[in-house]
Structure 1
């Protein structure tokens, strides 16, 4: 089940792709300031690590909230993007 976050300062889905962890936290400051507590996991996806056939594809990882412009279906075929991070957000409780 995907958690939905309706607040403006929080993302609307619990997973996706960003340019970096810092970029995600700058875009959604509510992850650090909301009275609820969240844990965010990140996984780095590097173009240099991709096979020539198959590999990492954008549409399987959720919404892209970054600033770069994708020009290919597979990361290996991107002309300018060297890496992104996928993220998952977990609500873990409330601040005391």
Structure 2
């Protein structure tokens, strides 16, 4: 999944949870986390983001909800990969 898609998904989630327009605008402004990851580490895919990238971005940004959202997506995609590998009978990643 592309980081751009994660950004769109996050905005969609907060809009669908009826956050105020002001809060949504604030989150959009604070999403420098994605720009930091994409430019400094040249990462486009969410699956390529590692904890070291998130840790290094903490010194630059304070987007705890965005970080949590990305971590949840990463955990979910890794679990799906592990399940796929199990089904194929290969060694676990």
TM-score, normalization by structure 2: 0.30
Higher helix share: 2
Answer 1 or 2: higher relative contact order, Cα 8 Å, separation at least 6. 1
TM-score, normalization by structure 1: 0.30
Higher strand share: 1
